[in-house]
Chain A
């Protein structure tokens, strides 16, 4: 992950795409700092792919303005040479090999074909570049799609569901690949349904639903303050009731379940609360083996925002 958040890689205001009576994207505004790895999250039909297609000049917006890498989205030719994209599914010529496909697309984009072997290696397809595309597994096709997106050494990568259809091993490899790409300082906008993967790899999030923005900002900000409880586990299970009584007497809201106590945060600083609980247990002669915030996951926050009317 990078921290180059000094300029804007992408900015759109009031972006709208209407199909008949339905707004696929509805007055969406996004600002993406340069250098972040941004997760683009939303349920099926939320407008993620349509938004990306508008940014890439494939779909004409009904309304809205914006810039990508400083150039107006009305003139994609001004910035597409600096953008690499994998949108919807990888699309290549089945009868050509992976390397031949990259050669064709590099020729179209006036990009350096000498980089093809290195790119195949980057995405883990070295040794398979001379195989026909039609013989590739889904994971290999996705990786070739990433290689094609990287042909022009882009400043901005737009990846639409790059882990779609991959097995767990493939998902992990894709996460590693995106992580490595993030380390090169480029801006990455990646959509995915796998929220735990996004949580691990993205330092910026854009959440949308029914074409509208729910949240955009640092991942840490979304998850910060989301800790609802403090998990406390004493070494001896016999201490559970005594510890609960102790904490309740000190004014905490405590829930005892299975082998742990959960102390409600109730707006308090989690670190201060943890220190207070630890001190109380120590003073009572109890040893704690776990004292950790019950962190809200991206999935928790996402589901509460999408289904909880948080907009």
Chain B
């Protein structure tokens, strides 16, 4: 499996791709920090769809609030990217070509997922650092003191934010991989994924608030936010683990049992 991960890193970590990822991370950091600071409310409770309050920004971990809030909207993007990357491996025949060199199918799919998640982990870390830097630049515009952002508690909060954001992103990645493996066609998998995680969840959840606790996309969104008013972090973690476990199991069964004909 290590060889699959290495090959995936060779494939992804090339000059042009790295430059695009770095530019995207910088753009994300700028937009997230600007949006969170410009829309910060004086009071309120963090919900799945709300931004941060001024109190959130002043306190411990305030420097990474923009990162956590902004990242909650990135999960869907990760979902789409993983669907496209993995489904194209099937429809384009490269999955078949890989199996001719590494016939242990589970190693291949897990290695590919792990390789891409390693890249995602590095990218998330870069985004958090850049968003923190942007927040430092924007804090004076809102008269926000940044003294507490460098406390030990803030470091802990930053690490916690990183773990929850990456955990949520990993969940989206697994769901994307599952859809890609089921349909083995990027357009089809993207269509189904887009319809479910986009319109369906977000429209129906307005009339069925329990959806915040049960819909996979809402659960992962709450996880990335570090817990919300609708779904606490503890329950978000457990529910996300159950859903991700089911999706991963389905993926492994399909990959190991199906004929590879494309």
Contact = CB atoms under 8 A, between A and B. Distances in A.
Given A53-B260, A53-B261, A104-B10, A88 B96 contact: yes
Interface stretch (A54-62, A195-203, A222-230, A244-252): A54-62
B94 A107 contact: no
B260 A85 contact: no
B235 interface: no
A76 B6 CA distance: 22
Given A58-B260, A58-B261, A107-B3, A96 B97 contact: no
Contacts of B101: 80-81, 105, 108-109, 111, 152
A60 B258 CA distance: 8
B99 interface: yes
B104 A91 contact: no
B93 A80 contact: no
B93 A77 contact: no
A107 B10 contact: yes
Name which of B4, B92, B93, B103 has the most chain A CB atoms within 10 A of its CB: B103
B7 A58 contact: no
A104 B94 CA distance: 11
B97 A105 contact: yes
Q: What bracket does the count of chain A residues touching chain B fall in?
A: 20 to 34
A96 B96 contact: no
Name which of A83, A96, A107 has the most chain B CB atoms within 10 A of its CB: A107
Interface in A36-56: 53, 56
B7 A59 contact: no
B11 A108 contact: no
Nearest to B91: A91
A59 B261 contact: yes
A93 interface: yes
A81 B99 CA distance: 11
A53 B100 contact: no
B55 interface: no
B250 interface: no
A108 B96 contact: no
Contacts of A58: 96, 99-100, 259-261
A96 B260 CA distance: 23
A185 to B, nearest CB: 22
B102 A57 contact: no
Contacts, number: 73
Contacts of B3: 107-110
Contacts of B6: 107
Given A59-B260, A103-B10, A107-B6, A93 B94 contact: yes
Contacts of A77: 103-104
B190 to A, nearest CB: 18
Contacts of B259: 53, 58-60
B152 interface: no
Contacts of A119: none
Nearest to B108: A108
B45 to A, nearest CB: 45
Interface in B3-43: 3-4, 6-7, 10-11, 14
A87 interface: yes
A108 B7 contact: yes
A108 B260 contact: no
B249 interface: no
A246 B7 CA distance: 75
B145 interface: no
Interface of B: 3-4, 6-7, 10-11, 14, 92-94, 96-104, 259-262
Given A58-B260, A100-B10, 11 more contacts: A53-B260, A53-B261, A58-B100, A85-B100, A88-B96, A90-B93, A96-B11, A103-B10, A105-B98, A107-B3, A109-B102
Q: Which 9 A-B pairs have the closest CB atoms?
A: A91-B93, A109-B101, A107-B7, A58-B260, A59-B259, A91-B97, A76-B103, A108-B101, A77-B103
